[in-house]
Amino acid sequence: MGEENAKASYSSLSPMDKKKGGFTASSFIFVLLALDNMGFVANMVSMVLYFMLVMKFDLAHSANTLTNFMGSTFLLSLTGGFISDTYLSRFTTCLIFGAVEILALVLMTIQAYSKDLHPKPVCKSSCVEGGMAFMLYASLCLLALGSGGVRGALPALGADQFNRKEEAKSLATFFNGLMLSSTLGATIGVTFIVYVSTNVAWYWGFFISTIATFVGFAVLAIGKPFYRLQIPGDSPIIRIVQVIVVAIKNRRLPQPGSPQELYEISEKESNYFEEKIAHTHQFRFLDKAAILGKDTKPQQWVVCTVTQVEEVKVLTRMLPILFSTIIMNTCLAQLQTFSVQQGNAMNRYLGSFEVPAPSIPVIPLLFMSILIPIYEFFFVPFARKITNHPSGITQLQRVGVGLVLSAISMAVAGIVEVKRKNQVHKDITKPISLFWLSFQYAIFGIADMFTLVGLLEFFYKEAPAGMKSLSTSFTWLSLAFGYFLSSIFVDVINAVTKRIAPSKQGWLHGIDINKNNVHLFYWFLAILSCINFANYLYWASWYKYKTDEPASKIQLKPLNQIPLINGDPSTQDSVIKTKEEKVTAL
């Protein structure tokens, strides 16, 4: 009976089923990422021009609209992560939000095609209003919801395809493969789709993105027989709130002298795959949630297990790491806004071929397409021999390398902008080549390779079993905060510099980038990135990695019973009796 319940409740981790999971299942996810990223990245780097040239937004409004859209997209990844941890499987969550994403792309294609939904060539005040504005912002909102929801569930769905015996080395390889497939798709997007959008018609670019995304989700659906599908469990948000509430209620109780006095579900009371997390001494005030008062019956909102308390501690320890990466993503936002506008004012000819300004990110993407396999097949095995770490270097070390490179990228971006403006003042008819931007893009591309993969792997591996999607979404949450912070910086710096500058003009005012001081903004971000790196070093050294538990210690609870947080464990009557049965069920 125990084995039947185990299979029904959490089939995603079964290593006994050799036909499911592994890189065979992941290949479908890689295809989706490549196809979906073709349109996503193409729109990400070119929509600032769409807003300027088609929707008649000014420079700052175009940049802020794009960064707000991107910030909303990554913020909404929390929605996908929460739903896939609590209500639906990660596979189903991806398909539902994928349908929303496709609908949004269809609406954007229609608006780009219909001249009636474009503002007049010359407009005195707000160019986009009424039904035109509703169509634009409704499609952007739906696109943010769909894309964000997919990104909240998809990385965890892929990582679920590797059981605990395979996890150590395969997870690192999977996340590198995730990055490589995204990079290859983005490379096609910023070349082919961007060229079609800017040189043929914007609606053709959106249409190709729609078709690619549709085919990607069709491939994901076809792969269903190969996936290990996780059945969602208890709400991670409720589990967190319970610990906080019970800890506050028990705040006057004395701290136990030994962790053994704290409450934990016994092996016989376990009713689902619950990874036991060892007690730690950080945030000891939360331990009071696991104090069971004398003559008190263990039940919901009265006491929490040590494991449940440690789940909250793990998430709390992650937060400083999350916040330390926000500035880097603020820098990323500039490469998709002001750097694209820089490129639009430079010499974009390669021989007789005119390169679309948004296509310049193909340079770091090509670097990454080469460097990711080199990193995976040469650097990681070499570093593994020295460090004995499955990933070669730790996830937090990878993030640190990325933060340093992002600061360098912003400093270089400022230098290139100075060179560009000096040439404009000398001879505006002979601008410098677009490919000067390749330096800042290439450095940041390598930074992103280290940081994004490091964060995804870090948040997935460190997360409690029932919070994998939500925790992985923290990577996108950092991106969201970075984009929103970019919008705030643009507005604040414009407001401040407008008051103190002799010209009474802000650094980033108007639509003519030649009259702005974008280089000062880049250097401001470079200095801020250096300060942020010092802050990151402190928190990275303070962080304590979660100890992985062996498979034999993972507990099962029967499917027809409710965990402690949902009821009285004394009512539970179904037990897997031996460790051998548990391992078989796993």
Range 2-232+313-542: architecture per CATH? Up-down Bundle (1.20)
What's the pLDDT at 99?
A: 95
Tokens of 135: 């169509």
Q: 579: pLDDT confidence band, cut at 50, 70 and 90?
A: very low
Q: 236: pLDDT confidence band, cut at 50, 70 and 90?
A: confident
Local structure of 58: helix, strand or coil: coil
Task: Please calculate the CA angle 307-232-300 and round it to the nearest 5 degrees.
Answer: 45
More confident residue, 200 or 336: 200
Tell me the pLDDT tens digit for each residue of 62-116. 878 888 888 889 889 988 888 888 888 889 999 999 999 999 999 999 999 988 8
Tokens of 319: 């937060």
What integer best gives the mean pLDDT of the chain?
80
What are the distances in angstroms from CA 532 to CA 16, 149, 241, 325, 525?
Answer: 46, 29, 30, 8, 10
Long-range contacts of residues 544-548, Cβ cutoff 8 Å, at least 24 apart: 544/280, 544/282, 544/317, 545/394, 545/462, 546/277, 546/314, 546/461, 546/462, 547/277, 547/278
What's the pLDDT at 277?
A: 77
What's phi and psi for 349, nearest 5 deg? Answer: -95, 135
Q: 189: pLDDT confidence band, cut at 50, 70 and 90?
A: very high
Spell out the domain ranges in the chain.
2-232+313-542, 236-308+554-585
What's the pLDDT at 202?
A: 92
pLDDT above 90: residue 308: no
Residue 411 has a CB neighbour count (10 Å cut-off) of 18
DSSP label of 272: E
What's the pLDDT at 320?
A: 92
What's the pLDDT at 37?
A: 92
Tell me the pLDDT tens digit for each residue of 547-578. 544 433 433 333 333 333 333 333 333 333 33
What's the pLDDT at 211?
A: 96
* Lowest pLDDT segment from 208-217, 306-315, 338-347, 495-504: 495-504
Q: 184: pLDDT confidence band, cut at 50, 70 and 90?
A: very high
pLDDT above 50: residue 584: no
d(CA 523, CA 197): 32
Per-residue buried b or exposed e for 452-461, using 16+ beta carbons within 10 Å of the residue's own CB: bbbbbbbbbb
pLDDT above 70: residue 131: yes
Question: pTM of the prediction?
Answer: 0.76
Tell me the pLDDT tens digit for each residue of 293-305. 776 777 778 888 8
Local structure of 382: helix, strand or coil: helix
* Lowest pLDDT segment from 198-202, 220-224, 245-249, 269-273: 269-273
What's the pLDDT at 19?
A: 66
Sign of the four-CA dihedral 133, 137, 142, 147: positive
d(CA 431, CA 198): 20
Average pLDDT over residues 508-536: 86
What are the distances in angstroms from CA 137 to CA 38, 39, 69, 80?
Answer: 22, 18, 9, 21
Tell me the pLDDT tens digit for each residue of 415-468. 999 999 888 888 888 888 888 888 888 888 889 888 988 888 888 888 877 788
